[in-house]
Amino acid sequence: MGAQARHARLAELIEPVLAEAGLDLEGIEVTPAGKRRLLRVVVDSDDGVDLDMVGEVSREISATLDTSDAMGKAPYVLEVTSPGVDRPLTRPRHWRRSRGRVVHAQLAAGGEARGRVVDADESGVTLDINGQTHSYDYSDLGRGKVQVEFRRDEDFGAVD
C-alpha cells in the first residue's frame, strides 16, 4: 500500500472514532522510528482537547487499527496529540478556534496583518488592529500563525 493510499485508509478508519468523540482530524503522519513506525494523529475541537479525551480516543483508535491491516504487519507506536501553537491557520475552523488570540498573516495583495481575532466564520476573519476592526476574506489572506503572548498587549499594527 502506497503512502497516499495508507493515509486515506487511516483517515477513513480514524475519522468516525474522532467524530463520535466530537473531535476533528487535523493530520496524520507516519514516520520511521528505528525498527518501528510512529503514527501521529493530530486532533482538535472547538472546545479544545484535554488529556482524558486524548487517552480515551487513543484507546479507541488503537482498537480500531488492531482490527484492520492499515498499518501492515510492522510494529508501530500510536501518538494522539493536539496541534501546537505553531500550526498554520489554513481552514476557517483554525481561525475560529483562535478567537481572542493574536495572529499574523501575509496579505494576498502584499504586506501583512497582525491583530487579535475578534470573529471568524466560513467566509473570513475579523481582526482588531490598533483598536479598529478589519475584516478579511480568507482569499485575501495567506497562512495565518498564532503569535505567542507572554503578556497581553492591546495595540497591534498592520505592517505594509
Question: pLDDT tens, 77-116?
Answer: 999 998 887 888 989 999 999 999 999 999 988 999 999 9
Domain span at residue 134 reads 88-146
CATH classification at residue 58: 3.30.300.70
Whole-structure pTM value: 0.74
32-73 tens-digit pLDDT: 888 899 999 999 998 888 899 999 999 999 999 999 988 888
Grid cell listed for 157? 499594527
Contact 102, 147 (CB under 8 A): yes
Those residues with Cβ within 8 angstroms of residue 20's Cβ, 6 or more apart along the chain or in another chain? 60
| Same domain assignment for residues 72 and 93 | no
| Same domain assignment for residues 77 and 8 | yes
Predicted confidence (pLDDT) at residue 160 exceeds the cutoff of 50: no
**Residue range 117-124: mean pLDDT, rounded:** 94
| Same domain assignment for residues 32 and 94 | no
| Same domain assignment for residues 7 and 73 | yes
Contact 146, 102 (CB under 8 A): yes
49 three-state secondary structure: coil
